[in-house]
Structure 1
Amino acid sequence: MKKVSRLMFSALAFLTIGSTMAVSIGAVSADEVADTKASMTNLSAENSALLAKLSAAQDKVASIDSQVSNKTVAIDDAQKNIASTDKEITEVAQKIVKVQAEVQSRKAVLKEQVIALQKRAGDSVSGNVYVDFIVNSDSFSDMVSRASVVGKLNQANKEAMDAVANSESKLATLKQEQVTKKANLVNTKAQLEKDQAQLTSLKADAENEQASFQQEVDGHKTQLASLQSQLDAQTAAAVEAAKKETEKATIAPTVAPKTGSDNTPAPTPAKTTTVAPSGANTGSLVGNALQFIGTPYAWGGAQPGGFDCSGLVWYAAKMAGINLPRTSQEQSTVGTKVSLSELQPGDLVFWGGVGSAHHVGIYIGGGSYVHAPTEGQNVTTMSMQYYKPDFGRRL
C-alpha cells in the first residue's frame, strides 16, 4: 500500500511539474508574439512618418521640375524674340540704306535742275541760279512764269527732302528701339538661364533627400517583412502549444498561451497592391496619354520625343481636340474643380493650388493616374497611394 502511495505521489508531482512547465512555455510564447507585434506597430508608425516625408520630398522635386520647365519655355520664347528682333533690325537697316540712296538720288535731281536752269538763265546777274533764271526772262509774263516754276521746284524739292529726312529719322529711331529690345531680351535670357542653373542645383539636393527617404522606407519594408515572418512563426508555435495543452487538459490544467492583448492572434498587415488602371479605354485623353508610357521626361518638353508634366497633358489634349494652356499653373484653372473622391477617368489631377499648381497628371481610374514624373524618369502610371494629388479638374 505504501508502494502504491509513493507511485501516486510521484505521478502527481510529475503532473504538477509538467503543468508548470507548460504554463511557462505558453507565457514565453505569448510574450514573444506581443513583443513582435509591438515592434511591428512601432516600425509601421515610423514607416508612415517616412512615407509622409517621402511624399513631401517628391512634391518638392515636382515643384522644382515645374519651375525649371517654365524657365525652359521662357528661355525658348526669349530666344525666338531675339531672333525676331534681329530680323527686324536687319530689315530696318536695309530700309535706312534705301532711304539714304533716295537722298542721294534727290540731290542728283536737284543738281540736274540747277544745271538746266543755269543753261536757260544766261549771263549771271546775282550769282544765284534761280534769281538769274527769273531776271533774265524775256518779258514780264515770262518772268512770272519762271518765278512760278522756281517756286514749284523749290516746294517740291523741299517736300521730297523733308519726306526722306523724316523717313530716315524714324527708321533710325526704330532701329535703336529694336537694338534696345534685343539687349533687354539677351539680359532676360541670361537671367533665366542663371535661375534655371540654380534650380537644377536645388533639384539635385531635393532628389538626394528623396532618395535617402526612399532608402529608409525600403529598409522598413524589409524589416516589416522579416517581423511578419517572425510573427507568423511565433503565432503558429503558440497555436500548436495551445493545441497540445488542450489535449492534456484531461490530465492536468493548462494555461492557454496568449497571442495578443485581446487574446486573439495578431492580424497580418494588409499588403499594398497597385490597382490596375480601369480607365485605359474610357476616353481619348486617357488613351492618348497612355500611348506615351516610357517616353523620357524633358524640361519644357511638349513633343513625343520628351515631355514635362504639363507638356504631356497639353499634347494628349491637343490630340483629342482639346485646347489647353501650356503650363500646369494655367491648366489648374481650366474646367471645374472636383474632389479626389469624385475623380473620373480623364479628369486632370494637380499638386499645389489652383493657379499655382506645380505638377499635373491625368486620372485613369482605379486610384491611378498617368504623368511625366521628373527629369531622369519616363512617363508612367502611379497609384495615388504613393503620391497623392491635392485636387482634380474636370474639363
Structure 2
Amino acid sequence: MKFGRVVVSLGVAALIGVSGVSLNVVSAASSTDNASQSSTSLIQKLQAAQNKVMKASNDASNLVTQIDETQTAIDATQTKITAYQSQIKKADAEVKSRRAVLRKQLISLQKQVGNSVTGNIYFDFMLNAKDFSDLISRGFTVNKLNQASQEALQAVQDAEAKAKTLSQELTAKKAQLVASKAKLTASKAQFDAAAKQATADAASLQKQVDANKAKLTALATSNNKATAATAKALVDSAAPQAKSVSAATKSQVSKTTGSASVAVQVAHRTRAVAAPSTTGSRSVAPSLHGGSLVANALAMQGVPYVYGGKTAAGVDCSGLVYVAGRAAGIPAFSTYHTSQALSSMGKMVSLSSLQPGDLLFWGGVGSAYHVAIYVGGGTYVHAPKPGDHVHTASINGWRPNFARRI
C-alpha cells in the first residue's frame, strides 16, 4: 500500500511539474507576442503620422507650384495688356492725326470755295470749277480725297476697336487669374495648417519612440530584416528631426491675410527659406552639369527641403527629380512634374527588380504623395519633408508602394 501511494504521489508530482513548465512556456510566448505587437503597433503609428506629414507637405508644395504658375500667367497677361494699351494709344493718336489732316483739307477747300452756297464745301468746290475739264479734275480730287480719308479713318477705328476689345478680354482674364491665385493661396494656408498638425502628431509619437528607444534599438538587431530596418530608421530619425520639421513648417507658413500681391510675395519667399541646420545639411548649392539622374541626385545630398523648390538651392521631392533629371539631359524631366504626374509616367516595375534611376512612389498611381530615386543596393535618395534635407535611406526602412521606370 505504501509503495502504491508513493507511485501515485510521484505521478501527481510529475504531472504538476510538466503542467507548470507548459504554463511557463505559454506565458513566456504570450509575453513575447504582446511585446512584438506593441512594438509593431508603435512603429505603424509613427509611420502613419510620417505619411500624414509627407502628404500635407506634398499638397502644400503642389499649391506653391500652382501659385507660381498662376503668377507667371498673370504677369504675362499684364504684359499683353500693357502692349495692347500702347496700341490703343497709337490708334487714338492716328485717328486724331487723320482727323487733323482731313480738317486741314476741308479748310483748304473752304478757302478756295469762299462763302458756301450749298452748305457742302465739296459741292461748292465742284461748282467753282473754271470749265468742264477743271470740273472733271476736281471731281477726281474730291473722290480720291474722300475715299482715302474715309478708308484710313475706318481702318484706324477698326484697329482701335479691336485693341480695346482684346484689352477688355485680357483684363477679364487677369481678374480670373488673380482670383485663382487668391484661392490657391488660401488653400495653401489650409494645407500648411494640416502640415503643422501632422508635424505635431509626429512629434507626439516621437516622444513615445524616445520612451521606447531601447526596445526599438533591440528590434534594430532583429532577424527580420524589414523590422530591423524600420526600427533602425526610426531610431536614426529621433527627436531632432521632429524638432526641425516643426521649425521649418513655422518658417514656411504663408500669411494670407494681406492682398493678393503680398500673398504671392510670401509664396515666392518660401522658396528661398533655408531649412534649419541639420546634420548633413549644406549651405552651398551644388553645381550640376551632365551626369546621370542618380549621380546628380546624390550630389544634391544636404540640400534643404523647400516647399515647391525646383533649384539646386532647395527642392521638394519632385523638385529633386526635376533638377537632377534636367541636368542629366533626360527629355522627360525637361519640364517640372508633380509626384502625382510622375507616378503615371513611364512603365510600372516590380520592387523586386529595381534598377538605379527607377522612381519610387508612396501612395497610388496618379495620386502619389512622395517620390524618390532608387540608387541601387536597396537604397534611395529623396527630399523627405520640411526641416529635412536630401539624403539616402534604406528601402526597407520606409518601403514604397510601387516603382516606375521612365
Instruction: Name the CA distance, whole Å, in 1 between partners of 2:188 and 2:23.
Output: 58
Question: 8 Å contact 1:47–1:217 — kept in the other structure?
Answer: no
Larger Rg: 1
Alignment pair present for 1:77 and 2:49: no
Question: 8 Å contact 1:328–1:360 — kept in the other structure?
Answer: yes
Q: Which amino acid aligns with 2:37?
A: A
1:207-239 Cα shifts (integer Å, max 9, x gaps): 2222333332443342466899xxxxxxxxxxx
Q: Matches of residues 1-395 of structure 1 in structure 2 within 5 Å?
A: 38-223=30-215, 272=228, 284-323=292-331, 324=333, 325-395=336-406
Instruction: Name the CA distance, whole Å, in 1 between partners of 2:216 and 2:307.
Output: 38
Inter-CA distance 160–268: structure 2 relative to 1 (3 Å threshold)? closer
Q: Count the aligned residue pairs.
A: 328
Q: SS in structure 1 opposite 2:228?
A: coil
Inter-CA distance 55–80: structure 2 relative to 1 (3 Å threshold)? same
Q: SS in structure 1 opposite 2:165?
A: helix
TM-score by length of structure 1 reads 0.75
Question: 8 Å contact 2:219–2:228 — kept in the other structure?
Answer: no
Instruction: Name the CA distance, whole Å, in 2 between partners of 1:122 and 1:227.
Output: 113
Displacement, 1:309?
A: 0.1
TM-score by length of structure 2 reads 0.73
Question: 8 Å contact 1:122–1:136 — kept in the other structure?
Answer: no
Displacement, 1:86?
A: 1.6
Q: SS in structure 1 opposite 2:74?
A: helix
1:23-44 Cα shifts (integer Å, max 9, x gaps): 99xx999988875654333121
Instruction: Name the CA distance, whole Å, in 2 between partners of 1:219 and 1:33.
Output: 28
Question: 8 Å contact 1:292–1:304 — kept in the other structure?
Answer: yes
Inter-CA distance 317–227: structure 2 relative to 1 (3 Å threshold)? closer
Instruction: Name the CA distance, whole Å, in 2 between partners of 1:208 and 1:352.
Output: 22
Q: Which amino acid aligns with 2:62?
A: N
Displacement, 1:176?
A: 1.0
Instruction: Name the CA distance, whole Å, in 1 between partners of 2:69 and 2:52.
Output: 26
The worse-fitting range, judged by mean Cα deviation, of 175-184 and 30-39 is 30-39
Question: 8 Å contact 1:36–1:227 — kept in the other structure?
Answer: no
1:41-63 Cα shifts (integer Å, max 9, x gaps): 31211211222232222222222
Instruction: Name the CA distance, whole Å, in 1 between partners of 2:313 and 2:116.
Output: 83
Instruction: Name the CA distance, whole Å, in 2 between partners of 1:67 and 1:158.
Output: 60
Q: Which amino acid aligns with 1:187?
A: A
Question: 8 Å contact 2:301–2:389 — kept in the other structure?
Answer: yes
Structure 1 unaligned residues grouped into runs of 5+: 1-19, 229-266, 276-282
> Share of identical aligned residues, percent?
46
Question: 8 Å contact 2:39–2:215 — kept in the other structure?
Answer: no
Question: 8 Å contact 1:370–1:379 — kept in the other structure?
Answer: yes
Instruction: Name the CA distance, whole Å, in 2 between partners of 1:382 and 1:376.
Output: 16
Question: 8 Å contact 1:122–1:133 — kept in the other structure?
Answer: no
Instruction: Name the CA distance, whole Å, in 1 between partners of 2:87 and 2:362.
Output: 52
